[in-house]
């Protein structure tokens, strides 16, 4: 699907505005909870990643709150189905025919990108799924202290002569945002493909098997901030956030860390214009402002969908939600109903020119053919 840049900017502004409303008030759903009583039921919240990454952190944050908000207070259990960078779990979910609300599925950008790029392993269709929550998320790239010391302020030129290794879920996954950013900075970064979750990449960094990494905000807050406090890691940059006009600005969760755009502007080898930049920005938009989403299967009853949407709205309306979520997930929009649908549309569509650039780059740099 092709989306003009101007259209995306307008849509992003609408998403941001709707998300602000969702975080400050509860929007009533016609018919309340839709008359669905979930007493005595167990809801499986399936995550297509390992239990060590940001998606696990996000799901385990929401699971008990969702249990409290749903009528009848059902048990919500997080299950993990890792494999093929989340494609295996998504293909499995596509085949599920559960209409009573006892199965929900959580995706990440690593699920969205293979879909966007036409990865032949993808057998799932986002248009078949019913979104009930969309969560914005950020990402932070970080280095060992000795490598970080080679940067001159924001200028990353001093890193260009070193060989970097990191653990990646795959060339067509969310990690392509990091791979392309580092390449644009003139760095030589060799990914070790095949890890089952970003948490596994962090463990490689901790063991000294990798000398660069990035984590999404939930995992960074929980697992990397302690490394920074111990002097074992130094933040390099965030991917940034979007303002209402679609401009990249500093991540509100990490306002003291520069964005990739700032580092790129300070590094002579990097440009914030041209094909590479436009492709990077398009996939950043698809991968992070609505990075994590919760879906019900296509066959779920309308009342069940309404029930889950209302439950998530009730979670967001809690007096302590802002404090709880800031500590665990960071400061990002949490969207339901129309805002979630708009976010899903943005996350599952990029301009054809950006897709063509990325497909060509993946072939040239990694030998990955998607044609």
Would you state the pLDDT for residue 192?
95
Burial, 269: exposed, middle or buried (Cβ in 10 Å; 0-12, 13-18, 19+)? middle
- Whether residue 29 has pLDDT greater than 80: no
Q: What is the percent of the chain with per-residue pLDDT over 90, rounded to a whole number? A: 75
Query: At 25, is the pLDDT very low, low, confident or very high (cuts 50, 70, 90)?
Result: very low
Angle between helices 5-24 and 302-316 (to 10 degrees): 70
- Using the predicted structure, report yes or no on whether residue 2 has a pLDDT greater than 90: no
The token duo for 9 is 């900017």
Residue 312's closest CA among 68, 106, 78?
68
Residue 260: half-sphere exposure toward Cβ, Cα within 13 Å: 29
pLDDT band at 84 (very low <50, low <70, confident <90, very high): confident
Q: What confidence score (pLDDT) does residue 34 get? A: 47
In the chain the first and final C-alpha atoms are separated, in Å, by 17
Higher pLDDT: 257 or 20? It is 257
Residue 371 banded pLDDT, cuts 50, 70, 90: low
Show the beta-strand stretches assigned E in the chain: 42-47, 75-80, 103-107, 130-135, 139-143, 163-168, 188-193, 213-216, 234-238, 241-242, 248-249, 292-296, 334-335
Distance, CA of 172 to CA of 84 (rounded, Å): 11
pLDDT greater than 60 at residue 26: no
Tens of pLDDT, residue by residue over 219-270, are: 999 999 999 999 999 999 999 998 878 899 999 999 999 999 999 999 999 9
Confidence of residue 9 (pLDDT cuts 50, 70, 90): very low
Mean pLDDT along residues 67-76: 97
Mean pLDDT computed over 280-300: 92
Whether the predicted pLDDT of 31 surpasses 50: no
Contact 33/306 with Cβ under 8 angstroms?
yes
pLDDT of residue 8: 40
* Mean pLDDT within 77-87: 92
| Mean pLDDT (whole number) for 6-35 | 40
Q: What is the pTM of this model?
A: 0.80
Domains of the chain: 5-136+287-352 (3.40.190.150), 139-284 (3.40.190.10)
For 6, 84, 276, 277, 287, the CA distances from 359, given in Å and listed in that order, are 23, 19, 12, 15, 16
Q: Average pLDDT in the 310-325 region?
A: 96
Q: So what's the pLDDT on residue 35?
A: 59
Mean pLDDT calculated for residue range 160-168: 96
DSSP, collapsed to helix, strand or coil, labels residue 164 as strand
The more confident residue out of 161 and 10 is 161
Tell me how far the alpha carbon of residue 151 is from its chain's centroid. Answer: 27
Decide if pLDDT at 343 tops 60. yes
Q: Which residues contact 114 (CB under 8 A, 6 or more apart)?
A: 85, 87, 121, 122, 170, 172, 173
Average pLDDT, the chain: 89
Specify the pLDDT at position 1. Answer: 31
pLDDT at 18 over 50: no
- According to the model, what pLDDT value does residue 299 have? 85
The pair of three-digit structure tokens given for residue 235, joined into one six-digit string:
């933040």
Exposure b/e, 205-224, CB count within 10 A at least 16 = b: beeeebbbbbbbbbbbbbbb
Give mean pLDDT, residues 187-209.
94
| Residue linked to tokens 């596509």 | 94
Radius of gyration of the chain (CA): 20
């Amino acid at each position: 699907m092709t989306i003009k840049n101007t259209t995306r900017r307008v849509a992003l502004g609408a998403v941001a505005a709707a998300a602000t409303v969702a975080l400050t008030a509860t929007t009533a759903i016609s018919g309340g909870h839709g008359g669905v009583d979930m007493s005595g039921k167990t809801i499986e919240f399936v995550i297509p990643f390992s239990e060590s990454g940001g998606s696990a952190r996000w799901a385990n944050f929401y699971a008990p709150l969702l249990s409290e908000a749903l009528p009848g207070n059902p048990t919500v259990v997080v299950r993990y189905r890792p494999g093929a960078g989340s494609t295996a779990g998504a293909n499995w979910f596509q085949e599920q025919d559960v209409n009573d609300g006892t199965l929900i599925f959580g995706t990440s950008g690593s699920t969205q990108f293979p879909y966007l790029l036409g990865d032949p392993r993808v057998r799932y269709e986002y248009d078949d799924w019913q979104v009930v929550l969309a969560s914005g998320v950020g990402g932070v790239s970080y280095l060992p202290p000795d490598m970080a010391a080679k940067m001159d302020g924001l200028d990353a030129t001093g890193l260009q002569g070193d060989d970097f290794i990191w653990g990646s879920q795959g060339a067509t996954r969310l990690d392509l945002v990091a791979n392309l950013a580092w390449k644009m900075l003139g760095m030589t970064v060799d990914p070790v493909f095949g890890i089952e979750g970003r948490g596994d990449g962090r463990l490689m960094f901790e063991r000294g098997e990798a000398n660069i990494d990035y984590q999404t905000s939930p995992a960074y807050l929980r697992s990397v901030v302690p490394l920074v406090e111990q002097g074992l890691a130094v933040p390099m940059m965030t991917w940034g956030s979007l303002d209402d006009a679609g401009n990249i600005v500093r991540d509100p969760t990490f306002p003291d860390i520069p964005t990739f755009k700032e580092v790129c502007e300070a590094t002579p080898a990097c440009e914030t214009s041209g094909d590479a930049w436009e492709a990077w920005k398009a996939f950043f938009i698809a991968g992070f402002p609505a990075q994590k989403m919760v879906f019900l299967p296509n066959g779920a009853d309308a009342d069940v969908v309404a029930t889950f949407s209302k439950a998530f709205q009730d979670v967001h309306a809690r007096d302590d939600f802002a404090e709880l979520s800031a500590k665990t997930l960071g400061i990002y929009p949490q969207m339901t109903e129309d805002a979630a649908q708009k976010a899903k549309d943005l996350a599952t569509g990029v301009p054809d020119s950006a897709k063509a650039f990325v497909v060509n780059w993946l072939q040239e740099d990694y030998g990955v053919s998607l044609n």
